[in-house]
């Protein structure tokens, strides 16, 4: 069994859709990023890569590479899952926390869990997503950006 921790943060900007966990969330601002800016999936990918000892998201999907401009982070997650499988790893579970003052994410949590579970070949119960605020403190509390923290566990594929 291996454990990885993922973290990501992106600023909120006008003129972009807000995509979290592969789900479009109605909101006046979206997350800035080279891809779709999905802070939750980026943290999931980092946790998975870290658990496998395979570096981080920037090593595999660099923002300097134009092929990733505007790409769906769901595709990046699928590529990551395939990479893990090639290296002999199965995803056991993920546990994520999204930090954002607004919007209220509760209605979108289960669809996010489902998107992640489908892409990783997991049962819904193996994927957890929580949403927290910082009660107005810091950049997330001021509505300047969002952050996500993820812990993931992997197990070796049976031979």
- For a pLDDT cut of 70, what percent of the chain falls above it? 100
pTM as predicted: 0.97
Q: What are the tens digits of pLDDT across the range 101-118?
A: 999 999 999 999 999 999
Q: Would you say domain 2-156 falls under CATH 3.30.1330.50? A: yes
- For residue 159, pLDDT over 80 is answered with no
Q: pLDDT tens digit string along 45-96?
A: 999 999 999 999 999 999 999 999 999 999 999 999 999 999 999 999 999 9
37 CB-near residues (< 8 Å, 6+ apart): 10, 16, 19, 30, 31, 73
Which phi and psi (to 5°) does residue 140 adopt?
Answer: -70, -40
Burial 16-45 (b: 16+ CB within 10 A, else e): bebbbbbbebebebbbebbbbbbbbbbbbb
Whether the pLDDT of residue 158 is over 90: the answer is no
Which residue ranges make up each domain of the chain? 2-156
């Amino acid at each position: 069994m291996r454990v990885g921790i993922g973290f990501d943060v992106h600023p909120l900007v006008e003129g972009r859709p807000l995509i979290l966990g592969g789900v479009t969330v109605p909101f006046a601002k979206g997350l800035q990023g080279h891809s779709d800016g999905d802070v939750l999936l980026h943290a999931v990918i980092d946790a998975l890569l870290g658990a496998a000892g395979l570096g981080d998201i920037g090593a595999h999907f660099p923002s300097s590479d134009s092929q990733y401009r505007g790409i769906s982070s769901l595709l990046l997650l699928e590529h990551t899952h395939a990479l893990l499988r090639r290296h002999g790893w199965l995803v056991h579970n993920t546990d994520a926390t999204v930090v954002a003052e607004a919007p209220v994410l509760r209605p979108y949590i289960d669809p996010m869990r489902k998107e992640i579970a489908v892409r990783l070949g997991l049962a819904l119960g193996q994927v957890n997503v929580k949403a927290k605020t910082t009660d107005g403190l810091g950049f997330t509390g001021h509505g300047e950006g969002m952050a996500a923290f993820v812990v993931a566990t992997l197990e070796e594929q049976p031979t």
